[in-house]
Amino acid sequence: FLLSLKLENKTKGKLQKQICQVVLDHFEKQYTTELGDTWTSVRDVLTYPLCWQYAVLLNKFSQSAELENTLRVKGYHPAFQGPLPYLPASLKCYIRRTPGRFPAQKHQAGKLKEYYLLNAASLLPVLALEVKDGEDILDLCAAPGGKSVAILQCAYPGQFHCNEYDDLRSRWLKQTIESFIPDPLINLMTVSKLDGRQIGDLKPELYDKVLVDAPCSNDRSWLFSSDIQQATLRLIQRKELSSLQFQLLRSAIKALRPGGSLVYSTCTLSKAENSDVINLILNSCSNVMPVDISEMAKAVSQEFTFLNDTQQHELLVLPEKGRAWGPMYVAKLKKM
Tens of pLDDT, residues 47-106: 999 999 999 999 999 988 899 999 999 999 999 987 999 999 999 999 999 999 999 999
93 is in an annotated binding site: no
For residue 192, the tally of other CB atoms under 10 A from its CB is 16
Spatial strand order in the sheet of 55-58: 77-78, 93-95, 55-58, 115-118
Q: Is residue 79 part of a domain?
A: no
Q: What is the pLDDT of residue 65?
A: 84
- Judge whether 213 is annotated as a binding position: yes
CATH of the domain at 234: 3.40.50.150
66-69: Cβ within 8 A, 24+ apart: 67/114, 67/115, 68/92, 68/94
Rg (CA), the chain: 20
Asked if residue 103 is part of any domain, the answer here is: no
Residue 200 lies in a domain: yes
Please report, to the nearest 10 degrees, the dihedral formed by the alpha carbons of residues 38, 39, 40, 43 taken in order: 130
Could you give the percent of the chain with pLDDT greater than 70? 95
162 assigned to a ligand binding site: no
Q: Phi, psi at residue 122, to the nearest 5°?
A: -75, -5
Catalytic residue list contains 267? yes
36 lies in some domain: yes
pLDDT at 110: 85
Q: Are 323 and 120 in contact (CB under 8 A)?
A: no
Q: Is 143 annotated as a binding residue?
A: yes
Residues of the chain scoring pLDDT < 70: 1-17
How many domains does one find in the chain? 1
Check 20, 93, 162, 267 and give the catalytic one.
267
Task: Return the pLDDT at 1.
Answer: 44
141: annotated binding-site residue? yes
Q: Range of 198's domain?
A: 21-48+120-335
Q: What is the pTM of this model?
A: 0.94
> Binding site annotation covers 142?
yes
User: Is residue 204 domain-resident?
Assistant: yes
Whether residue 59 lies inside any domain: the answer is no
pLDDT at residue 15, as a whole number: 46
Does a structural domain hold residue 303? yes
| Integer CA distances (angstroms), 178 to 39, 61, 112, 186, 235, in order | 39, 12, 8, 8, 34
pLDDT at 17: 52
Residue 98 lies in a domain: no
Could you give the angle at the alpha carbon of 87 between the alpha carbons of 252 and 191, nearest 5°? 40
